[in-house]
Structure 1
Amino acid sequence: MTTHDPIPARLAALKTAATPALKAQWRDLFDSEPPPFNRRYLESRLAYRTQELVYGGLKPETVRRLERLGEDLDGGDRRKSRVRADHGRPITGTRLIREWQGVEQVVTVTADGFEWQGRPYKSLSAIARAITGTRWNGWVFFGLRNHRRRPR
């Protein structure tokens, strides 16, 4: 007798599920309200949580290693790991990815601005303008801010 693993089918179904269904799954799997992040984030976290519950999570030694690496970065100060300079500006090294007209655009946050296609820029709006040829709010273009409200 062969057993059929339903997990791959469940993971594939996440891609076509309606957003309200994803949010309902989130409530079931995490016992909390879903965060206000984009659909891709919900899909990836739901996929991970589904597999974690069925196959098991990270090994304890892996968790300890990750905690040690985190302490090396922030000295064990959890508040420091959450501090962002420049009022909500993404942390240096963050990669912002946006698909525009079928082409993936990747911007890296640097200490003094942003880098796109190997060139430094002071603002995301300048990069969005270079990509689209029109004026954009760079924060909205890269999905860091909803055009109707300010970020938290």
Structure 2
Amino acid sequence: MTTHDPIPARLAALKTLPTPELKAQWRELFDSEPPPFNRRYLESRLAYRIQELAYGGLKAETIRRLEQLGEELDGGDKKKRGVRLDRDRPITGTRLLREWQGIEYVVTVTADGFEWQGRPYKSLSAIARTITGTRWNGLVFFGLKRQGGR
């Protein structure tokens, strides 16, 4: 008897779902409003959550090790772990993708700014200006914030 695992199909379907449906799944799986980050972020977090619920989360040993590493980095101050000074700024390591005039641009969030095409930048607006040749709010250009507000 073979059993069919629906999880791989569900993960593959995330790529084809319209963004409003991704956000609806977020509300269902996380019981909270989705964050204002780009589509790929939503897809990756939803994929993780679907697998976590189906197959189980991290082992207790792994969680303990991560906590230990966190303590080494922040001296055990758990308040520091939850604090993000710039709430609009994605977490270090996040890759932002934006298609502009048929070309896909990938920017990586670094500890002290952003990196695009191997060059460091202090702001997303500077990258957006270089790509488009016009002034843009970088958060709006990369879909992290709606024009005229959140």
Distance 1:93 1:21, change over 3 A: closer
Q: Please identify, of 89-98 and 65-74, the stretch whose mean Cα deviation from structure 2 is larger.
A: 89-98
Q: Please identify, of 101-110 and 121-130, the stretch whose mean Cα deviation from structure 2 is larger.
A: 101-110
Structure 1's unaligned 5+ residue stretches are: none
1:80-102 Cα deviation digits (max 9, x unpaired): 123344x5473795455233332
Distance 1:78 1:117, change over 3 A: same
- Counterpart-to-counterpart distance in 2, 1:11 and 1:146: 27
- Counterpart-to-counterpart distance in 1, 2:53 and 2:66: 20
Cα deviation, residue 2, structure 1: 1.6
SS state at 2:15 partner: helix
Cα deviation, residue 33, structure 1: 2.6
1:36-94 Cα deviation digits (max 9, x unpaired): 33443333222222212222211111111111111112222222123344x54737954
SS state at 1:140 partner: helix
Taking structure 1 as the reference length, the TM-score comes to 0.73
Q: Which has the higher contact order (CA 8 A, sep 6+)?
A: 2
Match of 1:57? Answer: 57
Runs of 4+ in 1 over 6 A off after TM superposition: none
Cα deviation, residue 8, structure 1: 1.0
Taking structure 2 as the reference length, the TM-score comes to 0.74
- Counterpart-to-counterpart distance in 1, 2:141 and 2:22: 25
Distance 1:5 1:121, change over 3 A: closer
- Give the partner amino acid of 1:65: R
Structure 2's unaligned 5+ residue stretches are: none
Q: Which has the larger radius of gyration?
A: 1
- Percent identical across equivalent pairs? 66
Q: How do 1:18-33 residues align onto structure 2 when only pairs under 5 Å count?
A: 18-30=18-30, 32-33=31-32
Assess if the C-alpha contact under 8 Å between 2:96 and 2:108 holds in 1: yes
Assess if the C-alpha contact under 8 Å between 2:96 and 2:107 holds in 1: yes
RMSD of equivalent CA atoms: 2.9
SS state at 1:48 partner: helix
Assess if the C-alpha contact under 8 Å between 1:84 and 1:91 holds in 2: no
Match of 1:68? Answer: 68
- Counterpart-to-counterpart distance in 2, 1:91 and 1:36: 10
Assess if the C-alpha contact under 8 Å between 1:108 and 1:115 holds in 2: yes
Cα deviation, residue 130, structure 1: 1.0
Q: Please identify, of 63-72 and 102-111, the stretch whose mean Cα deviation from structure 2 is larger.
A: 102-111
Q: Does 2:133 match 1:133?
A: yes
Aligned pair count reads 147
